[in-house]
């Protein structure tokens, strides 16, 4: 069974600065997807960024980028130029051959003005 670990329960960052959220996972599969989802307070969860395991290049979406280390089974999210609207809970998630999404416990990110 796959597991996803987010060991930091919460982080805080000053507006306009950069923050990195950590995630590790465990799987015996070779082909899979990794995701970061964002869940703003009382709002629906949305996809921030996706990484296919077979791609060596790290995914980037505007201010969001990942550092994917397949051998180390590490998948961190970097948010550059943090904005107040980035305040949310962030979940790292794994999807393998069974198309089931397994989530970590999440991290609460607060962006300070």
Partner 1 sequence: EAGVAQSPRYKIIEKRQSVAFWCNPISGHATLYWYQQILGQGPKLLIQFQNNGVVDDSQLPKDRFSAERLKGVDSTLKIQPAKLEDSAVYLCASSPRTSPLLYTGELFFGEGSRLTVL
Q: How far is the CB of 38 from partner 1 (least distance, A)?
A: 11
The Cα 102–Cα 3 span in angstroms is 7
Dihedral of the CA atoms 69, 94, 87, 46 (nearest 10)? 130
| Interaction site with partner 1 (CB under 8 A) | 4, 6, 32-33, 35, 43-47, 50, 91, 93, 95, 98-106
Q: In terms of CB distance, is 43 or 71 closer to partner 1?
A: 43
Nearer to partner 1 by Cβ, of 104 and 111: the residue is 104
Q: Report in angstroms how near the CB of residue 108 gets to partner 1 at its nearest.
A: 9
């Amino acid at each position: 069974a796959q597991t996803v670990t987010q060991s930091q329960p919460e982080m805080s960052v000053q507006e306009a600065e950069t923050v990195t959220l950590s995630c590790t996972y465990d799987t015996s599969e070779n082909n899979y997807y990794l995701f970061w989802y964002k869940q703003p307070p009382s709002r629906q969860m949305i996809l921030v960024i996706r990484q296919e395991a077979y791609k060596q290049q790290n995914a980037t979406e505007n201010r969001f980028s990942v550092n994917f280390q397949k051998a180390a089974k590490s998948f961190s999210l970097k948010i550059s130029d943090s904005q107040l609207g980035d305040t949310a809970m962030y979940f790292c998630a794994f999807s393998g051959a069974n198309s089931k999404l397994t989530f970590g416990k999440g991290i609460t990110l607060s962006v300070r003005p």
